[in-house]
Each structure stands twice: as C-alpha cells, then as structure tokens.
Amino acid sequence: MFHKVIIGVAASAALMSGVAYAQSSTVNGAAGGAVTGAIVGGPVGAAVGGVAGAVVGTIIDPPPQKVVTYVREAPAPTTAIVVREKVVVGQPLPEAVVVTPVPENPKYAYAIVNEERVIVEPSSRKVIQVIN
C-alpha cells in the first residue's frame, strides 16, 4: 500500500512540476519541483518533486526573437567551419568553433557550423537553438 502512495505522489509531482514550469519560468528546476511536490504530497512529494523539477528545469529557454533575428541576418564569417560532430541543442560546440558574441545581448553568442547558424551560451558553448 505504501509503495502505491509513493508512486502516486511521484506521478502527481512530476505532472505538477511540468504544469508549474509551463506557467512560470521563474520557479523552475529542482527548487520549483520541490515546492510543487510539497504542495501536492508533503515531505515525500517535496523530495520526488525536486527530482522531477530538476529534469524539467534542464529544458533550455529559447532566446529572445531579437537575438534570433540578429543571428539570422548577421554577415557570415569569411572562413567556414565544418566539423564531423552533429550540432545538437543542449550539447556544447567543439573547441575549434569560434563563437561570436551578440552585441546587444552578451548572454548569447552565435556561430556558423556546417552551414547552420547556431545560438549558444558563451560560457558553456552549449547550443541553445539551431536556426534554419
């Protein structure tokens, strides 16, 4: 019986943390999941919600439209970078790729890799969005 309650609380917490994330990106990740889990299922729900919230919190927020427009229209560098690795959202770019900061928003940078424009987080080089 106790295991069924834990499973039910875990499922509720996972669903509620997703709802909480969709409603507000300011309370997300493990902390947001823990709060939502505590509301739904008390202390056990807080623990389970923290784990579920951490998973939901890893979703990458898309950059502002102004950044996407800038990267789409920015002049291409004179040298093309081609790498064997596939460019994947959430994964860092290879060190060989030069990233250029977005002038109006230093939270973002971009690169053109394998003829694709990509927006990255400068500190981690993690790909945030591939622009088609």
The number of distinct structural domains making up the chain is: 2
Task: Based on the fold, state whether residues 53 and 92 are members of the same structural domain.
Answer: no
Same domain, 87 and 38: no
Global pTM value = 0.55
Pair type for strands 100-101 and 109-113: antiparallel
pLDDT at position 51 is 55
Reported as a single tens digit per residue, the pLDDT across 8-63 is 444 444 444 444 434 333 344 555 555 555 565 666 655 555 555 554 445 678 89
Q: How far is CA 26 from CA 11, 23, 33, in A?
A: 23, 9, 12
Question: Both 12 and 41 in a single domain?
Answer: yes
Domain around 41? 2-57
